[in-house]
């Protein structure tokens, strides 16, 4: 019985290592890590991130999709815009990583696209 408990515990530990490796791999990309730092300041839409990061819309969208798939960001719709923010329910390990990111508030215009005119 003891050997079985030990095996289950080892299997759980192994799964945690795999999960952490996946998170580190995901956040090991400088663009995704920068996106997470920016989203800690405020919710942003793709257009805002494209402007701040000086990169293409497809690139930003792909990075956001990966972050969303892993539960690190969430989205909310406001009119024609989709705003992304850090998922407050992410794991404690992710929260700890995010706590070490620099404050990016100087890179973000307050309420960026939320002040833009609504079309449609």
Query: For the segment 26-75, what is each residue's pLDDT rounded down to a tens digit?
Result: 999 999 999 999 999 999 999 999 999 999 999 999 999 999 999 999 99
Q: How many CB atoms lie within 10 A of CB 19?
A: 13
109 pLDDT band, cuts 50/70/90, is confident
* Domain 2-106 top-level CATH class: mainly alpha
Helix (H, G, I), strand (E, B) or coil at 76: strand
Kindly state the average pLDDT of the residues 16-27.
Answer: 92
pTM: 0.81
pLDDT of residue 9: 66
Nearest to 76 by CA among 94, 66, 64, 62: 64
pLDDT of residue 63: 98
- Between the ranges 1-10, 17-26, 66-75, 101-110, where is the mean pLDDT highest? 66-75
């Amino acid at each position: 019985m003891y050997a079985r408990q030990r095996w289950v515990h080892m299997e759980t530990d192994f799964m945690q290592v795999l999960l952490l490796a996946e998170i580190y791999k995901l956040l090991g990309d400088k663009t995704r890590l920068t996106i997470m730092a920016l989203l800690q300041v405020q919710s942003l839409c793709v257009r805002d991130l494209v402007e701040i990061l000086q990169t293409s819309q497809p690139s930003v969208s792909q990075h956001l999709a990966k972050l969303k798939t892993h539960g690190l960001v969430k989205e909310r719709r406001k009119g024609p815009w989709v705003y992304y923010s850090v998922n407050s329910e992410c794991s404690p390990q992710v929260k700890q990583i995010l706590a070490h990111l620099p404050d990016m508030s100087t890179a973000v215009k307050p309420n960026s696209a939320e002040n833009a005119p609504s079309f449609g």
